[in-house]
Structure 1
Amino acid sequence: MRFLYARCSTKQQNEDRQLEAARKLGIPESQVFLDKASGKNADRPALKDMLSRLREGDEVYVTELSRLGRNTRDLLDLMETFKNKKIGIHSLSEDIDTSTPSGELVFSIFAAVATFQRQIILEAAEEGREAARKQGKPLGRPKVDADKLDYAMHLFSDDSSKSIKQICELTGLSRSTIYREAEKRGLARA
């Protein structure tokens, strides 16, 4: 079966061009999946729905590869998933068809570039950590003040008149820190 995945940004990007591509390809509306969200948004329900319906031998069309992934890594992870499931990818603007040898070559080049990019990022991060170590700077998350944490847990469990937001403001701790510590201590709100 053939499917088309389209993503339009929340800024009301015109989706007509992407949907017109489906019509030209003869892809029925029931096999067109449209997410109206920014590429930065990881929550893309239409993509998840389409992925759950795909079977070996199916083909996915996109007007351009950027519609599929938020970044190179996401795109390559998704393309690797398609490859493992033996699902063909067709990008209309880049003229890529992964079911052909040239399309497979392009995919391999993308994968190599992404691996190289990731390696550069890892090396730069390690160099930054090494420089910080040499300067005696602390690494990792800053330690949470134990007294503040105890006070927050007291407010969390004993004083239900204080909202989480108020506890955060009083202690200077984040919501996630408060919830994480409450879970560790087995505390629940009254």
Structure 2
Amino acid sequence: MKYGYKRPLTNDEDSRFQLIDIPNIETYTEHHPYMKKRHELDALVMKLSNGDQLYVQNFVVLADSLTHFQDLLRVFERDQVTVTFIDENIKSTDILSMKLIEVLELMTDLQTKIKRHQSIFGVREAQKQGKVIGRPKKSDDNLNRAFYMYETKEYTLQQIKDETGISKSTLYRYLDQFKQ
């Protein structure tokens, strides 16, 4: 039997661009991008059996960490399920015959993509909750004091930093913004 698994990605939040060229598959679609409560994946893993084929768009759709990826591959190997990763153009059975350096490249790429996926969706979730993302802006009083100290040319950059807490690079960045 052929199955497919989809979940929201940073560049495909409604999963509509996944598995579009795979005919005649029973598809399980997660409706959120997060690590926990992946009910559709759990149901699919329980349904898969000997000889089944699973199609996923890429590694990140399937796994949330290297450990999760490893655990899933173990289950699929035990159940004799072949997983096809479309973007990577690789099957789970091919991984065993790869050179160590190729496996390391795949795992490094997977880890990078997982972190990016989690970071982007984490930031979006925080913004929905009204949280401010990024470094807090320096206070205007401190900035004005740093500008004054800089323009008098009586203070070193280290003294300005010690007095105001504004680093050289931050001071220069603000000075450039105000000149424009």
Q: Taking structure 2 as the reference length, what is the TM-score of the superposition?
A: 0.51
What's the TM-score once normalised by structure 1's chain length?
0.48
Q: Deviations over 1:38-89 (max 9, x none)?
A: 24x2211111111121110001100001111111111111111101111001
Aligned to 2:17, the other structure's residue is in SS state helix
Correspondences of 1:49-60 after superposition (within 5 Å) = 49-60=43-54
Matched, 1:34 2:26: no
Counterpart for residue 15 of structure 1: 15
Cα distance in structure 1, aligned partners of 2:28 and 2:18: 10
* Structure 2 counterpart of 1:49, one-letter code: A
The 5 Å alignment of 1:1-190 reads 1-8=1-8, 13-20=13-20, 24-28=21-25, 31-39=26-34, 41-99=35-93, 102-106=94-98, 109=103
Cα distance in structure 1, aligned partners of 2:82 and 2:14: 26
Q: Residues 89 and 107 from structure 1, CA distance in 2 versus in 1: closer, same or farther, beyond 3 angstroms?
A: farther
Larger relative CO (CA 8 A, sep 6+): 1 or 2? 2
Instruction: Please state whether the residue corresponding to 1:75 is helix, strand or coil.
Output: helix
Structure 1 unpaired stretches of 5+: 118-190
Superposed displacement of residue 98, structure 1: 2.4
Q: Confirm or deny: 8 A CA contact 2:6 2:30 kept in the other structure.
A: yes
Counting aligned pairs with the same residue, the percent is 19
Contact 1:9 1:37 in 2 (8 A): no
Residue of structure 1 equivalent to 2:167? none
CA contact (8 A) 1:10 1:37 kept: no
Structure 1: which amino acid aligns with 2:30? Answer: D
**Alignment length, in residue pairs?**
106
In structure 1, C-alpha distance between the alignment counterparts of 2:12 and 2:84, rounded to whole Å:
25
RMSD: 2.9
What stretches of structure 2 of length at least 5 have no aligned partner? 112-180
